[in-house]
Amino acid sequence: MADPASSHAPQPKDATGVLVLADGSVAWGKGFGAVGSAVGEVCFNTAMTGYEEVMTDPSYAAQIVTFTFPHIGNVGTNDEDVESHDTPGAVGCVVREDITAPSNFRSTGTFQAWLEKMGKIGLAGVDTRALTRRIRLSGAPNAAIAHDPEGKFDIPALLKRAQEWPGLEGMDLAKVVTHAKPFDWEGSVWTLGHGYGEAPDDHRPHVVAIDYGAKDNIFRNLVKAGAKVTVVPAETPLSAILAMKPAGVFLSNGPGDPAATGEYAVPVIKGLLDADIPLFGICLGHQMLGIAAGAKTAKMHQGHRGANHPVQRVGEGWGETAGLVEITSMNHGFAVDGATLPDTVEQTHVSLFDGSNCGIAIKGKKAFGVQYHPEASPGPMDSFYLFEKFVGMLS
């Protein structure tokens, strides 16, 4: 990547896409997908599969995803793998190789056409190893990404957009990605040859899932574990949740700064804790559960995003499985600061990459959270037991 003001960084003749970082660095390439421009934080994801799920995960709102796996788009796209049909996910992506024709029996369309339909911008032909290394050394930068089939770009204007964008710290994005109205979730997990399963008709404990930007597969896993699920918007008041008389409340994943979303979410979570209602939080929900219990959160240098993150079980209560390592799917740029956990909170999981907090349990309460995504999509299923643990708490 080079400085756009430098004479050593001319626009290649065939360049139809560009990424301009806030520090003035620029990467040229071939644009695909939607035409136009967008601004966001550049991150990287190390998963080898599941690019469609990644791009439609609401937790990636306002982010430009750099895929470290070079062959993105090679299995095409299909409607079954979309993680959220109604809310925005990533604004764009950066890939190494040109998108090739899909080769998968489940494919119903190309990645290029799908991105265009979804209004997301793609940029191919970038040295993603160099970009990933830059993020690891200097942190996740703000940037503007643009695609124009005619190759006409206003680099100073794109640079200005990148520099003036405020960044994710202090930004509440749950309001942007949450569902607008409550609804009952129907359907269980997907299986080959059968598609998505149906929810059983027998009596199931009622779980209210607060949607801060949830992936659909979370709701499916709650159903598979035996729950009846009602999804409610992020700003649903405590009184409305209590009026539903839930057996338990789920706190979903989502984008943005947990401290910002926590301005309205944390008082609700505290009220639920006071009411002794069982709670289970994932990712953003986990972070805000930590804040409600007295801990603090912080912006990470580069974040954790991928489907191969090792997490170890720590603390008491694990029995023979103490110390067991789960391979997990992650997507977060903020984390609970383990050093700020009060005595009333037990740390239950830690990352083996950097030692950061990946799980908590509130002492004396049926309330716990994990930083990773046990529903996967994409990723391993090592942690499905957490859904069963939560539903098993409900009476």
DSSP, collapsed to helix, strand or coil, labels residue 361 as strand
Place of tokens 């009476």: 395
Which amino acid, 306?
A: G
Report the distance separating Cα 174 and Cα 177, nearest Å: 5
Which residue among the candidates 52, 53, 326, 375 is catalytic per the annotation? 375
Q: What is the dihedral of CA 267, 226, 50, 213, to 10 degrees?
A: -20
Residue spans of beta strands (DSSP E) within 102-226: 121-124, 142-147, 183-185, 190-191, 195-196, 206-211
CA distance 354 to 190: 33
Triad 264, 56, 101: Cα angle to 5°: 170
**CA 45 to CA 347: how far, in whole Å?**
26
* Positions of E strands within 49-178: 63-67, 92-94, 121-124, 142-147
Phi, psi (5° rounding) for residue 236? Answer: -60, 125
Q: Determine whether 373 is an active site residue.
A: yes
Q: Which two tokens stand for residue 109?
A: 């369309």
Residue labelled with tokens 């301005």 = 263
The question of whether 375 is a catalytic residue gets the answer: yes
Distance of CA 68 to the CA centre of its chain: 17
Chain centre to alpha carbon of residue 102: 25
Asked if residue 217 lies in contact with residue 387, where contact means CB atoms within 8 angstroms, the answer is: no
d(C-alpha 41, C-alpha 9), whole Å: 23
Number of Cβ within a 10 Å radius of residue 346 = 16
What sign results for the dihedral spanned by CA atoms 202, 238, 335, 58? Answer: positive
Instruction: Out of 43, 53, 83, 283, pick the active-site residue.
Output: 283
* Distances in whole angstroms, Cα of residue 33 to Cα of each of 115, 155, 269: 5, 20, 40
Q: What are phi and psi of 339, to 5 degrees?
A: -70, -15
Angle at 378 between CA 180 and CA 34, to 5 degrees: 60
Paired tokens of 189: 């997990």
Strand partners, 109: 77
Q: Catalogue the active-site residues.
A: 283, 373, 375
